Homo-oligomer: A and B are copies of this chain.
Amino acid sequence: MIIIVTGMPGSGKSKIVKEFERRGFPSVSMGDVVREETAKRGLELTKENVAKVSIRLRQELGQNAVAKLTVEKVKSLLKKSTLVVIDGVRSLDEVGTFRSAFPDEEIVIIAVHTPPRLRFERLKARGRHDDPQTWEDFEERDWKELKFGIGNVIAMADHMIVNDGTKDEYDKRVKELVDRVLTQH
């Protein structure tokens, strides 16, 4: 089984990925795949270099370049685990790449939704170097994700979890969701 975790920046995707990891299932971050490629090409891991490699990869391997590189990692992980989590899918086209590459695996999309105002507050508080500090930066970053088609992946999710309450509430919802996914599928 392949679990695709999706959601807008700052929505709380990583907690879902971590909960699967805590239960012994490996994950692949599509962002890490691009960062690895950047390092492989001898470039420093700056935001600009990663963006550049991301564009070059698409020129070399087509629109779904990152998904194609991710397929290789998922293939090797599926030799050791019955379930692999993919973090960072941004379009239904990428989902299609995984469906074609793994016709015999069940593919389950999990989306997490957090209202924009809350995501903005959380990203501002997180303050990772690429996190937005102004509402304009936030909207620009959101728009970048939306242009890829992440909204379509969210709209077509098999499971939707809402992260609009306290941290404890979200922790509980994530655990319940992972239980449900593991028993239902």
Query: Residue A152 contacts which of B92, B151, B162, B164 (CB distance < 8 angstroms)?
Result: B151
Closest 10 CB pairs of A and B: A151-B151, A151-B155, A151-B152, A113-B160, A146-B152, A154-B155, A115-B158, A160-B162, A8-B155, A116-B156
Q: Are B115 and A159 in contact (CB under 8 A)?
A: yes
- Chain A residue total in the interface (Cβ 8 A): 24
Q: Are B157 and A113 in contact (CB under 8 A)?
A: yes
* 26 A–B pairs (Cβ distance < 8 Å), ordered by A: A8-B156, A92-B146, A111-B113, A113-B160, A115-B157, A115-B159, A115-B160, A116-B156, A116-B158, A117-B158, A146-B152, A149-B151, A150-B151, A150-B155, A151-B151, A151-B152, A151-B153, A151-B154, A151-B155, A154-B155, A155-B155, A159-B164, A160-B160, A160-B162, A160-B164, A162-B162
Contacts of A161 in B (CB 8 A): 162
The closest CB in chain B to the CB of A11 belongs to B155
- Output the least CB separation between A23 and chain B (Å): 22
